[in-house]
Amino acid sequence: MTRTLLDAGVVRHAAVGVLRRNDLGTMTTAAPDLYPHQWSWDAAFVAIGLARVDVPRAVTELRSLLAAQWSTGMVPHIVFAPGTGDYFPGPDRWGTDDAPARPAGYRTSGICQPPVHAIALRHVLDRGKENGGLDALVAREFAAESLDGWLAWHRWLATARDPDGVGLVEIHHSWESGFDNSPRWDGPYSRITAGPVPPFARRDTHHVASVAERPSDEEYTRYLWLVEQMRSVGYDDDRVLDVIDFRVRDVFFSAVLAAAAEVLAGICDEFDRPDDAAEQRGLAARFRAGVSSTVDPATGLARDVDVLAGEWIGPQTVAGFAPLVAGGDAGLLAAQRALLRGPRWMGHPALRYPLPTSTSPVSPDFRPRTYWRGPVWPFLNLLLGWAARRDGADDLHRDLRDASLAQLSDLTFAEYYEPLTGEPLGSHAQAWTAAAALEWLGG
């Protein structure tokens, strides 16, 4: 798109400015007004963007996250920044201080998020190699020192969260999916009767979404109830299974693990660790197969599994395109790409930009202003574009890039966007949105 290409320098300068302003030195806040801490998969995307402009700082982002890894191998979904005031969900809401696996000296949540980190590490290594000199040295040294940590993270997911070896990661909270209030979780949450939970505060400023755009108070009560259940057993992986009211095999999370394990296998090859590489390729194959097994022949979309109810979860959400992230069978991927580009998704005539919505515009669940129930999420477009390029779907990669840059040229770098009007929603100056712009712009 001509306008985007002409404005590339302006977009790059503005995106770098967001990352610099959100920089706490060793970690990047997701968005200062609403998310003043470090989020796990946000940090991975931030590192991808930072690697385009500052490889050592990208390394620091991943290093600071990994430093808070639990002894089990889990990478927590929030690392709380020192010196920040309490807010929901603040450190004292989590009660992880008594969790035996929590690392000393860090305040973290007790749950996780999708494992994009090996993909981020691959980007850092590639940018270091392209730049040469100190950047190459710093990137390789970090990869060597952190490799065991990333392997432990994948192994924890493959054991603690897929104990039956079905190739699908089980999550115990919708926050773990990253798709907090998606229609995917309506069924599981409808069966939860929340007990007493601590009160919570909601912060809203002119930079963040109105309360109406975010999950409801009733939803937050259920969210906190699940945290209370995990707290009650010290976040012990085995004991959580006996008390938790939310057990879902998350197809999109599983797809990210499949993709990340394949990438980590390649990194292991570079560092002469053939046994680890073989292990990761085995995990990638297992979770690719798990993802493929969930595809609904009627809709062509992948589905989650509600473990407690023993039933499929199949609303029309972007998570249904999990096979495009996982990779695998060429026929399945071609069918999914055709579906994604069709009139129920990117090709819907009412969209401001031809980009995937979090819920299909033709779904009865579609809410264009409500968080994961309709809006477009820039970081997710980047992930889908990366996977398209990996699999040789250069036309899809190009179309996602061009439409994304056109959207992001408003320079708000919003958390998410209204799909019909293009209005920026949620918090502005969102770090991973700025990072996505930098990666789309390239070198």
pTM of structure = 0.95
Query: Which domains are assigned to the chain?
Result: 2-441 (1.50.10.10)
List, for the chain, all residue ranges whose pLDDT scores fall below the cut of 70.
1-6, 83-94, 198-212, 214, 443
Please tell me the predicted confidence (pLDDT) of residue 203.
45
DSSP state of 342: S
Predicted pLDDT at 60? 98
Residues 432 and 437: their CA atoms lie apart, in Å, by 9
H-helix or E-strand spanning residue 433: helix 431-441
| Predicted pLDDT of residue 198 | 64
Q: What does the block give as tokens for 140?
A: 């390789």
Please name the helix (run of DSSP H) or strand (run of DSSP E) that holds residue 39, with its range, or none.
Answer: strand 38-39
Q: Which residues partner with 39 through β-bridges?
A: 78
User: Which residues are 312's β-sheet partners?
Assistant: 305
Instruction: Report which of 237, 247, 240 is spatially closest to residue 176, judged by C-alpha positions.
Output: 247
What amino acid positions are annotated as catalytic residues?
A: 180, 415
CA separation for the pair 22, 220 (Å, rounded)? 26
- Give 377's Cβ-side CA count (13 Å radius): 22
User: Looking at residue 230, what is its pLDDT?
Assistant: 96
Instruction: Please spell the DSSP secondary structure of 241-302, one letter per residue.
Output: HHH-S--EEEHHHHHHHHHHHHHHHHHHHHTT-HHHHHHHHHHHHHHHHHHHTT--TTT---
